[in-house]
Amino acid sequence: MFRQSPRFDGFGLGLRRPHYDEYLGKSVAVDFVEIISENFMVEGGKPLATLDAVRKRHPVAMHGVSMSVGRHDRLDEDYLDRLGILARRVDPLFVSDHLCWTGVDGVNSHDLLPLPYTEESLNVVCRNIDQAQEALGRTMLFENPSSYVQFPESCLTEWEFLAEMSRRTGCFLLLDVNNVYVSAQNHDFDALAFLAGLPAERVRQIHLAGHTPGEVLIDTHDRPVCSPVWELYAHAITLCGPVATMIERDDAIPPLDDLLAELAIAREIAARIEPGAA
Amino acid sequence: MLGAAQRSFKNLILDEDLPLPPVWDAKAAAGMAIYRNAYRLRIVGALGETFCRTQRWVGAEPFGQAATHYTILQPPSSWSLDHIGAGFPALLEDLFRNDPEVAELARLEWQMNQLYVAKDAQPLDQSAFAAAVEDYSEADWANLTLELMPGLAIEPVRTDCAAIWRALTDNTEMPQDVILKEASALIVWRENFRCVFRSASSAEAHALSLAGDAASFAAICDAMVIILGEERAASETGTMLGRWVQDGMIAGIAEPSSDLLHARDADWT
């Protein structure tokens, strides 16, 4: 029996290097912080010492970008070992990654690449999630990615794929509302249908972020959350109830107070939503 | 099926000249352009962060060309972006053959970045070292081996890349003549969480390198006799050891083996 991912309905931010000193020097008004796991899968030094100090003050969620759960072959066992070492050190709220693959034949693109939503992909992804959850001894969360290409051979919608993946493996979902919006715009599907098609009770965390507008929307995490994404977030909370929510900013990182002000918007929206009112 | 599809997709990202599948429409082509562009920007950007001083020294455009070339020659294989620059200094050595300081500066940056996340350890301070060797016999000294601080690196240099580093860090005037009169080395190590380096003679670098390979102090002394001559080796090897301890480069020393202790006991009885 795996250790289950708990329900947690706080509001958090990503721990990013420009804000390390503030997290160490004062009490930051967040209910949890999220780390990029790979940045701390190291032997020692300041990053781990900072993480240890932050962990004493806040619950931590571990969010990975390199598991490559959609790769056609088995997961990298060295990677899983190192992830497990970090998880034992941090005792995190959640361990998450993305529904994607990052490379093949020994090449890592360091991007979250899209999958065709087929039965074969589903079998591969579920097999790999089983491997990861067994290695970690706990359930994981997997996030819906933004995508810029879709495959004609797909026979499932993304939300059908996520729902079945969660049902088969027992994994939970990390709902990235901005990614739903970006992919819906890029691939002409209904974002509300995406949300309605997810098993709401399996969603343990929500991500909010900004994207770059254009002919194809790009998930850049370099600007504030836009109005349509806030509206979609309100709808998601209506469906899922209170869920751990955080704002992701990975580029053009503003002062911490700016992100806390943006997080306050999420708190306000969640506070006025009545679950099940959709 | 999935493996073949992923291989094709990866090849399309890595090689911008590969034609897209004929069934792909303009929208899919626009999407692939995003993946292709993001890949290059991400890898070149990561190299620019790891080698930020080298980038400033050579200029953004030449650095970008070198980084793009590197991305083609050695696509990343590690799960961490922090690992991708391991072979970049060697490529710079090849690309900037007339400017040897470029690769040496890049190697220094690479070692400093590796050190930043090296395993933690407490250095042996002078009093602890003195206490540990207080009762050493001549045989104990001969068999003494040192454990260097994790991540400590020794980089041979023939240019003053250290001065370039400092000028770039402090925004002061760049050195004009960067070729050293005599080849030397830089020792790179970490003081608590601060990564530092200092210059060392080739002899000291060789001695420390031997220590890092678990050579006995006697073997180090023998090597120094060959390089420095008997008289200088006798005085300078001990001085080197004292400075390594003083600088916080030594994490520990191996205890004398039990055989030696027994032999010493036997001598005393």
CB contact under 8 A, B39 and A110: yes
Per residue in B50-94, pLDDT (tens digit) is 999 999 999 999 999 999 999 999 999 999 999 999 999 999 999
One domain, residues B134 and B256: yes
Which pLDDT value is given to residue A278?
Answer: 59
Residue A229 lies in a domain: yes
Residue A278 lies in a domain: no
Per residue in B243-262, pLDDT (tens digit) is 999 999 999 998 655 444 44
Which of B9, B43, B118 lies closest to A113 in CB terms? B9
One domain, residues B208 and B125: yes
Residue B180 exposure: Cα atoms within 13 Å on the Cβ side: 21
Residue A21 lies in a domain: yes
Residue A154 lies in a domain: yes
Residue B114 lies in a domain: no
Residue B151 lies in a domain: yes
The yes-or-no verdict on residue B179 having pLDDT over 60 is yes
Q: How far is A164 from chain B (nearest CA, A)?
A: 19
Which pLDDT value is given to residue B268?
Answer: 37
Which helix (H) or strand (E) element contains residue B68? helix B60-73
Q: How far is A150 from chain B (nearest CA, A)?
A: 7
Residue A78 lies in a domain: yes
CB contact under 8 A, B6 and A111: no
Per residue in A91-108, pLDDT (tens digit) is 999 999 999 999 999 999
Residue A108 lies in a domain: yes
One domain, residues B87 and B128: no
Residue A3 lies in a domain: no
For residue A202, the enclosing domain spans 11-272
Per residue in A127-163, pLDDT (tens digit) is 999 999 999 999 999 999 999 999 999 999 999 999 9
Residue B190 lies in a domain: yes
Residue A1 lies in a domain: no
Chain B contact present for A188, CB below 8 A:
no
Helix ranges (H only) for B153-250 are: 161-170, 202-212, 217-228, 230-247
One domain, residues B151 and B23: no
Total domain count, chain B:
2
User: Which CATH number covers residue A122?
Assistant: 3.20.20.150
DSSP secondary structure letter of residue B177: -
Residue B110 lies in a domain: no
Chain B contact present for A121, CB below 8 A:
yes
- CB-based contact A220:A148 (threshold 8 Å): no
Amino acid at A44: G
Phi and psi of B200, rounded to 5°? -145, 150
- CB-based contact B197:B112 (threshold 8 Å): yes
Terminal-to-terminal C-alpha distance of chain B: 79
DSSP annotation string for A244-270: EEEE---SS---HHHHHHHHHHHHHHH
CA–CA dist B200, B154 (Å, integer): 9
Chain B contact present for A152, CB below 8 A:
yes
What residues have CB less than 8 Å from A24, skipping those under 6 apart?
A: A50, A53, A54
Strand A101-104 relative to strand A107-113, pairing: antiparallel
One domain, residues B130 and B180: yes
Residue B115 lies in a domain: no
ipTM (interface predicted TM): 0.94
b/e per residue A31-60 (b: at least 16 CB within 10 A): bbbbbbbbbbbbebbbbbebbeebbeebbb
CB contact under 8 A, A76 and B3: no
Which pLDDT value is given to residue A274?
Answer: 74
For residue B216, the enclosing domain spans 120-269
One domain, residues B20 and B146: no
- Please identify, among B63, B98, B133, the residue that sits at the C-terminal boundary of a domain: B98
Which pLDDT value is given to residue B81?
Answer: 95
Chain B hits for A38, CB-CB cut-off 8 Å, are: 79-81
What is the band of A277 on the pLDDT scale with cuts at 50, 70, 90?
A: low
Which pLDDT value is given to residue B243?
Answer: 97
Total domain count, chain A:
1
One domain, residues B63 and B137: no
Helical pair B100-116 and B88-95, crossing angle rounded to 10 deg: 170
**Contacting B residues, span 87-146, partner chain A, CB-CB under 8 Å:** 115-120
Chain A contact present for B16, CB below 8 A:
no
Residue B161 lies in a domain: yes
Residue B106 lies in a domain: no
Chain A contact present for B149, CB below 8 A:
no
Mutate to test the interface with B, among A82, A110, A119 (most CBs of B within 10 A): A110
Per residue in B99-141, pLDDT (tens digit) is 999 999 999 999 999 999 999 999 999 999 999 999 999 999 9
